[in-house]
Every structure is written in C-alpha cells, then in structure tokens.
Structure 1
Amino acid sequence: MRGFWLTFWTVIDWPFKVVSYILITIYRYTLSAFTGRTCRHLPTCSEFTRDAIWRFGFWPGGWMGAARLFRCRPGGTDGYDPVPEELPLTGRWYLPWRYGRWR
C-alpha cells in the first residue's frame, strides 16, 4: 500500500515541481537581474528554493525555501548553506514548518 501512495503523491507533485522550477528560473533571469544580486548566502535563495523543491517536492521544498528567505533578513545568517541531503526527521506534511531551519 505504501508504494501506491508514493506513486500517487509523485504524480500529483510533478506539475507543481515543474511550474515552480519554471517560475523561479524566470525570476532569476528577469526580476532578479534588475534588483541586483545581493543574496547573503551561497547558493542564492532562489537557487536553494529551486533545488529543494526539485529534490524533496513542492510542499517540503517550498517550506525549506521559505525558512531560507526568513534567514536572509538583516541580522540573519550568511555564508555557505546548501540544500540538506535528506529531509529532517521531525518534518511531516501536517507540520510543514519543521522542514526548514528557521535560525
């Protein structure tokens, strides 16, 4: 039964992943070029979000990206901050804020 749900969610998640990937890429080559490249992290916040969504899916990857944008505020973190290799053990679809590192 687990295989069925995994396949079901993969099929449902695919269009969201593709659309978000396209929208983030459009942002990176249009609006981001006009506002200046001032991200304090490496990879940039848009690259991080794009890669997290592509690796983990729209829901957990989107929350990881939101947490990363929150950390990119004045007084927040900076430096090298890659996409994690695996999802946090505490992350659940009904507790989505646990996917991201907020500090």
Structure 2
Amino acid sequence: MDGHGKRTARIAARDEYLLKKIIIYFLDVYKVCISPYIPTACRFYPTCSTYMQEAIQKKGVFRGLACGLKRILRCNPFSPGGYDPVK
C-alpha cells in the first residue's frame, strides 16, 4: 500500500470509530433519558438497545446497525422472545 492508501485507510478507520462512539452515545442517552419513561416492551434479553450497542461494537457500524434493526423488527407481540445474544 502506498502512503496515500495508508492515509486513506487511517482516515476511514478514524471516521468509523467516531461514528461508532456517536451512535453508542445516543443509545446510552436513550437508555437513561427515554427508556425509563416507556413501559417495558422488549421481549428479548439483552434488550434491543443493548443488543444494538453490542452488535455495533462487535461487527462495526454498518453491520451492527443492520443486526440491531433486524432485532427491533423481530421484537413484537408475535415473537416468543427470550435469550438472544449477538452472534
């Protein structure tokens, strides 16, 4: 890889790191400021917001968001719920 390619890779990694931190920060804000005032509805353990955070940390921003959104769509009254860790 030439110098320009290494620099571009470093910038992309930094940008993904910052985006990951921002998304996780907003999920933390949701869990502290909004979630306590909404009746518990999540049918899974860990909760959907915690699942999304773990998925983003393990799989990266875009794959983690996709996994988290799929989980939110599965969390409905017709789902049996239960233990569902990030794989």
TM-score where L is the length of structure 1: 0.71
Find the counterpart in structure 2 of residue 59 from structure 1.
Answer: 62
1:11 to partner: Cα distance: 1.9
Structure 1 CA distance for aligned equivalents of residues 65 and 11 of structure 2: 19
SS at match of 2:40: coil
Q: Would the aligned equivalents of 1:43 and 1:81 in 2 still touch at CA under 8 Å?
A: yes
Q: Which has the higher helix share?
A: 2
Find the counterpart in structure 1 of residue 85 from structure 2.
Answer: 82
1:43 to partner: Cα distance: 0.2
What are structure 2's unaligned runs of at least 5 residues? none
Q: Would the aligned equivalents of 1:48 and 1:83 in 2 still touch at CA under 8 Å?
A: yes
- Supply the AA of the counterpart residue of 2:71: R
Q: Would the aligned equivalents of 2:43 and 2:76 in 1 still touch at CA under 8 Å?
A: no
Larger Rg belongs to: 2
1:75 to partner: Cα distance: 1.0
Aligned-residue sequence identity (percent) comes to 29
- The aligned length equals 83
TM-score where L is the length of structure 2: 0.83
Distance 1:8 1:34, change over 3 A: same
- If asked which structure has higher relative contact order (CA below 8 Å, sep 6+), I would say 2
CA RMSD of aligned residues (A): 1.9
What are structure 1's unaligned runs of at least 5 residues? 85-103
Structure 1 stretches of 4+ with a deviation exceeding 6 A read none
